[in-house]
Amino acid sequence: MIKVEGLYKYFGHIAAIEDISFQVKKGEIAGFLGPNGSGKTTTMRILTGFFPPTLGKAEVAGYDILKYPLEAKKRIGYFPERSPLYPDKRVKSYIEFVAEVYGLKGKERNKQVDYAINACGLTNVASRLIGNLSKGYRQRVCMAQTIVHNPEVLILDEPTIGLDPEQVVEIRKLIKTLGEDKTVFLSTHILGEVSIICSRIIIISNGHILAEDTTENLTDRLEETSRTSVQIEGPVKDIEDTLKALDEIIDIKRGKEISPKICSFIIESKKEIDIHQTLTSKVTEKNWVIHELRPISLSVEDIFLKIVEEKDRG
Amino acid sequence: MKLWIIFKKEMSSYYNSLIAYIIIAIFLLIAGYFFYTDLLFFVLWAGIDINIGFWEYYFHDIRYFLILLIPILTMRLFAEEKKLGTIELLTTYPLRDIDILLGKFLACFSILFLMLFIVFFYSFFIKAFHVLNWGPVLSGFFGLLLLGCAFMSCGIFLSSITENQIVAAAMTYCTLLAFWFITWNENIGGETLVKALKKISLFDRFYNFSRGLIDIKNILFFLLFIFFFLFLTYISLESRRWKGLKQ
């Protein structure tokens, strides 16, 4: 697990992060979300022992990274932002080197190396020079060096950036499997990614943590009303007026016209009320037809913007 | 020992990128050529006392090639890691900075050792045709090894403060040449200054080795020189730790 308390880091007079505290538990995939330059990489570099914080405490896998750096580092798999690698090394021999650095020897080393190469889909390029690989493959090699020693904690700094869509899906799948029995801390500025793989969100902006919670809790907290998208067949004007008159419905917006007779609406209603029933009974009463009915939950984009807005308001 | 893992990695880098082969080949080519011409010179013009004059002359030639070639070996050691960003991974692996530093130093040292070791066998050619006094030969090679290590430690340090390999090499050349020229201009500084400068001039310190004189003071000087620059490198590696520690 990862435990961070009151972390500060100054570069000269510029504060990269200020008073950062959070926790990530075992079996959790936490998304570290924030715009470029918000302090994500700085936090991760402190956690991996690349440099110490100006102030504060960071504990990884039960070891204080400042007091017991070697013990902590043994248990961390780190994927740095630029996925740096040695171009003059061959994939397999590089992974072997990393395994040895982590103290793996003999059969165990070979087993782990094979596992990492397989898990990252590198079997076909195992004997090739890293320098000759494409960006996507290099990213996977970097991923393989992250997991080769079977670390308890994975710290991944933008692991999917620069990959093509198919590879993104693969890497996400891998992270999800790894997250089942490890602690995963993953930074990204792609909002959608978080909702796909993370069970927990930590939002950072300008070096400050704005929110930290599970994805559901955050959505719940920020959603004051529930929204529903609905497609109804019938006279458009009439539908709009009738629905607007209903008590349960706060607001209704006309969306796209699917065909001359079918139109889509977005309905905002009170949170506690089951709007589906009200809608269906009203529509049946008027002899219209419902073509589609689905709730719209807040996207991570909405959450992020709402939180930043909230903070700005004070 | 984690040090050997870094040593192995650096060796495979040296040989995979062909730098080691090229440097060794160039060194052997030049060293062989000068062995031939220096010997020819001594046999034809300088009489026949090969035991004294020839080796001194030859060792002085070899140190020029060391000055020329060693910065090329050392320039990549840290500058490349910084440029590639791999230094970030290397320093977040469970390794101590001292392992990284000594592993790299030893890799470089092993190439220097190999080069000098091969050249050392030239002395058997002479032994085959002439009486050979082993003392000065061994002392000279020992001196060259120390001198080479001194060049290396300086080069490694300068490689650790830049991410540009060319800059690292250029700075190393400048520094090493400065340690060579430092005692040339006797008229400017007066005798006391030159005397003091002679104490820190790598080449003046090497002079006695090439004549077969092993002075403990000179050995200590070289060891101190090597230690000093390796220590600076260590500080430069550690510097990322204390940057930004104060508000």
Query: CA B120 to CA A243: how far, in whole Å?
Result: 98
Which of A155, A137, A144 is CA-nearest to residue A114? Answer: A144
Residue A89 touches partner B, C-beta closer than 8 Å: yes
Mean residue pLDDT of chain A comes to: 86
For residue range A124-141, list pLDDT tens digits in order: 999 999 999 988 889 999
Q: 219-278 in A: which are within 8 Å (CB) of B?
A: none
A101 in contact with B at a CB cutoff of 8 Å? yes
Q: Is A5 helix (H, G, I), strand (E, B) or coil?
A: strand
Q: How many Å apart are CA A310 and CA A116, to the nearest integer?
A: 43
**CA of B13 vs chain A CAs: smallest distance (Å):** 7
Phi and psi at residue B131, to the nearest 5°: -70, 135
Tokens 């692991």 belong to A159
Which residues in chain A are closer than 8 Å to B11, comparing Cβ atoms? none
The Cα B63–Cα B44 span in angstroms is 24
Which stretch of A230-234, A250-254, B219-223 has the lowest confidence by average pLDDT?
A250-254
Closest CA to A303 of A231, A195, A230: A195
> What is the model's pLDDT at position B247?
45
Q: Name the token pair of B24.
A: 């060794």
pLDDT higher at A13 or B94? B94
Average pLDDT over residues A33-51: 89
Contact A7, A23 (CB under 8 A): no
ipTM: 0.86
Task: Indicate the average pLDDT of chain B.
Answer: 88
Segment A145-188, tens digit of pLDDT = 999 999 999 999 988 887 888 888 888 888 988 888 899 999 98
- Give A46-70 pLDDT, tens digit per residue: 999 999 999 899 999 999 999 999 9
Q: What is the pLDDT of residues B126-146, one digit of tens each?
A: 888 877 888 888 999 999 999
Q: For residues B90 and B113, give the distance between their C-alpha atoms in angstroms, rounded to a whole number.
A: 26
Question: Residue A179: enclosing H or E segment and its boundaries?
Answer: none
A134 to chain B, any CB pair closer than 8 A? The answer is no
Shortest Cα–Cα distance, A88 to chain B (Å): 6
Shortest CA gap A157–chain B (Å): 12
Q: Which pLDDT tens digit goes with each residue over A70-114? A: 999 999 999 998 889 999 999 999 999 999 999 999 999 999 999
Cβ contacts of B179 within 8 Å, gap of 6 or more: B200, B201, B202, B203
Contact call for A103 and B9, based on CB within 8 A? no
Three-state DSSP class for residue B71: helix
pTM value surpassing 0.95? no
- Quick: pLDDT tens for A236-284: 888 888 888 887 788 888 877 778 788 888 888 877 777 788 888 888 8
